[in-house]
Amino acid sequence: MSKTKGTFTQLELLRRDFLKAMAAAGVGAVAARVAAPGEAMAANPVVHGYGVTTAQLKDWSIMSKSIGIDMDFTGTNNSVGVYLRDVVASQLGDKVDIFIFESGTEDILGPQGIYLVIDEKNPELTLWDRTPDEWKHSEVVMGKDGKQYGVPVIGNADSFGYFPDKIGAEASGEQDISWEMFFESDKTRGRVAYDQTWTYSMPEAALYLQQSGKAQIKDVADMTKEEAKAVVDYLVARKKAGQFRTLHSAFEEQVQLLTNREVDMINCWEPATREANNKLGAGTVRYAYTKEGYFKWGHGAYVAKQVADRGNINDVYKVLNYFLGGEYRALQARDRGYAGPNMDLGVEYAQKQGWAQDQIDALKATETKVKRKFQKPFVSTTTPTNADAMEEEWQRFLNA
Give one DSSP letter per residue of 103-155, joined into a string: TTHHHHHTTTTSBPPP-TT-TT-TTTTTS-HHHHTSTTTB-TTS-B-EEEEEE
pLDDT of residue 336: 86
Alpha-carbon distance of 264 to 191, in angstroms, equals: 5
pLDDT of residue 67: 98
Residue pair 388/217 in contact (Cβ under 8 Å)? The answer is: no
pLDDT of residue 20: 42
pLDDT of residue 19: 39
Structural domain boundaries in the chain: 46-148+297-324, 157-294+381-399
Alpha-carbon distance of 151 to 140, in angstroms, equals: 9
Which residues of the chain carry a pLDDT beneath 70? Answer: 1-42
pLDDT of residue 37: 40
Superfamily of the domain at 46-148+297-324: Periplasmic binding protein-like II (3.40.190.10)
Within 10 Å of residue 186's Cβ, how many Cβ atoms?
Answer: 8
- Mutual angle of helices 326-336 and 270-280, in 10-degree steps: 60
Alpha-carbon distance of 348 to 288, in angstroms, equals: 28
pLDDT of residue 42: 52
Rounded to 5°, angle at Cα 114 from 112 and 117: 90
Architecture of domain 157-294+381-399: 3-Layer(aba) Sandwich (3.40)
pLDDT of residue 18: 39
